[in-house]
């Protein structure tokens, strides 16, 4: 009755339009998120007259990053197009690069924790061609697409590692295997053994394995794993070796302030850019002319 009462305010022609809008809204809400993201990206590429090749379940195309052309291989109906939109089209990390430039910081080593299909690594390579990148991704299928994107662009000095970032070396389990790739997260409590296990590694382990004196940029997007990485009981002195850190905190209410307090303790100046919590070591700020 209430719906009919609402329609009584319209002329017949308007009622038809309102009903059609209602049907479209209901149908669109049922479209899988990955398919919707794929459709929006393909529409954007077609409008820009960008050539798209289709191979089985993937789309291949070229797109510019910082005026350089890169090759992209994205899985359709997955989170890949949504990640592309976030990293490449909306340039989520451009404010971070601009901030580093303002302090005359030229990064030499980057740890890309939660690299997904490698788009953040590609983005930084477009600005810093000599940058050494250690790209961590624990999900094997996602990691394979990461490798494909790196190989297709013939990039040097990128080291893909099929592991996640944690507080120590361990074998973990998928927390939400049914979610899209960008929501893939790990837990130390297996719900079902048949899901398999995934290797994780700590920052001190990476420093030792790659013989790092410092980390210019530490990007952390590990779908809740930041809770484990920044636990108070952990030795976090490795933060003294980090110049710039960018973290996507997934439980803001519970973990944002504790992480900020840790960054302040280790003498970072903290700011925010979109979903990123950014810290720059004060020793670099003091060097600014």
3-class DSSP string for 35-64: HHHHHHHHHHHHHCCCCEEEECCEEEEEEE
The backbone torsions φ and ψ at residue 54, rounded to the nearest 5 degrees and listed phi first, read -110, 125
* Confidence category of residue 71, pLDDT binned at 50, 70, 90: very high
Q: Flag whether pLDDT at 51 surpasses 60.
A: yes
Q: Mean pLDDT over residues 67-94, rounded?
A: 95
Whether 273 and 97 have beta carbons less than 8 Å apart is answered as no
Q: Flag whether pLDDT at 183 surpasses 60.
A: no
Give the H/E segment covering residue 13: helix 12-29
Among 96, 97, 269, 75, which Cα is nearest to 182's? 75
pLDDT for 178 = 47
Largest CA distance in the chain: 74
Q: Flag whether pLDDT at 199 surpasses 60.
A: yes
Q: Mean pLDDT over residues 269-279, rounded?
A: 95
Share of the chain above pLDDT 90, in %: 63
Higher pLDDT, 185 or 99: 99
Q: Picking from 120-129, 169-178, 222-231, 264-273, which range would have the lowest pLDDT averaged per residue?
A: 169-178
pLDDT for 17 = 72
Distance of alpha carbon 173 from alpha carbon 114, whole angstroms: 15
pLDDT for 254 = 84
Q: Flag whether pLDDT at 139 surpasses 70.
A: yes
For helices 140-152 and 119-127, angle between their N-to-C axes, nearest 10 degrees: 30
In whole angstroms, what separates CA 149 from the centre of its chain? Answer: 15
Q: Mean pLDDT over residues 118-137, rounded?
A: 97
Q: Picking from 16-30, 101-115, 271-285, which range would have the lowest pLDDT averaged per residue?
A: 16-30
Assigned token pair, 151: 């190989």
Higher pLDDT, 233 or 249: 249
* Confidence category of residue 278, pLDDT binned at 50, 70, 90: very high
Higher pLDDT, 253 or 236: 236
Cβ neighbourhood burial of 63 (10 Å; 0-12, 13-18, 19+)? middle
Among 221, 166, 158, 161, which Cα is nearest to 188's? 166
Full strand arrangement of the beta sheet holding 68-75: 52-55, 58-65, 68-75
The residue assigned the tokens 């120590």 is 168
By three-state DSSP, how is residue 288 classified? Answer: coil
Whether 222 and 165 have beta carbons less than 8 Å apart is answered as yes
The residue assigned the tokens 């850019």 is 273
Q: Picking from 118-122, 186-190, 232-236, which range would have the lowest pLDDT averaged per residue?
A: 186-190
Assigned token pair, 111: 């740890």
What does the mean pLDDT of the chain come to? Answer: 86
Assigned token pair, 222: 């590990």
Which DSSP string do the residues of 52-98 spell out, in sequence order? EEEETTEEEEEEEETTEEEEEEEETTSSHHHHHIIIIIS-TTHHHHH
Q: Flag whether pLDDT at 163 surpasses 90.
A: yes
pLDDT for 189 = 63
Share of the chain above pLDDT 70, in %: 82
């Amino acid at each position: 009755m209430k719906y009919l009462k609402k329609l009584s305010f319209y002329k017949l022609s308007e009622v038809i339009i309102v009903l059609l809008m209602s049907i479209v809204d209901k149908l669109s809400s049922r479209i899988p998120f990955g398919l919707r993201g794929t459709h929006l990206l393909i529409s954007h590429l077609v409008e820009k007259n960008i050539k798209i090749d289709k191979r089985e379940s993937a789309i291949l195309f070229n797109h510019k990053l910082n005026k350089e052309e890169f090759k992209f291989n994205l899985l359709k109906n997955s989170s890949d197009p949504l990640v592309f939109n976030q990293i490449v089209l909306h340039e989520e990390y451009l404010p971070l690069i601009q901030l580093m430039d303002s302090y005359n910081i030229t990064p030499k080593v980057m740890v890309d924790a939660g690299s997904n299909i490698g788009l953040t690594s590609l983005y930084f390579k477009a600005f810093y061609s000599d940058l050494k990148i250690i790209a961590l991704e624990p999900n094997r299928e996602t990691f394979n697409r990461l490798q494909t994107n790196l190989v297709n662009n013939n990039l040097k000095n990128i080291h893909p590692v099929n592991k996640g970032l944690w507080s120590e070396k361990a074998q973990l389990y998928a927390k939400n295997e049914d979610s899209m790739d960008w929501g893939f997260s790990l837990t130390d409590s297996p719900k079902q053994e048949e899901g398999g296990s995934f290797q994780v590694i700590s920052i001190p382990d990476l420093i030792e394995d790659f013989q790092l004196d410092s980390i210019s940029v530490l990007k952390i997007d590990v779908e809740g794993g930041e809770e484990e990485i920044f636990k108070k009981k952990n030795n976090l002195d490795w933060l003294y070796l980090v110049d710039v850190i960018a973290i996507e905190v997934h439980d803001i209410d519970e973990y944002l302030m504790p992480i900020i307090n840790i960054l302040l303790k280790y003498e970072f100046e903290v700011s925010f850019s979109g979903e990123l919590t950014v810290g720059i070591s004060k020793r670099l700020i003091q060097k600014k002319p």
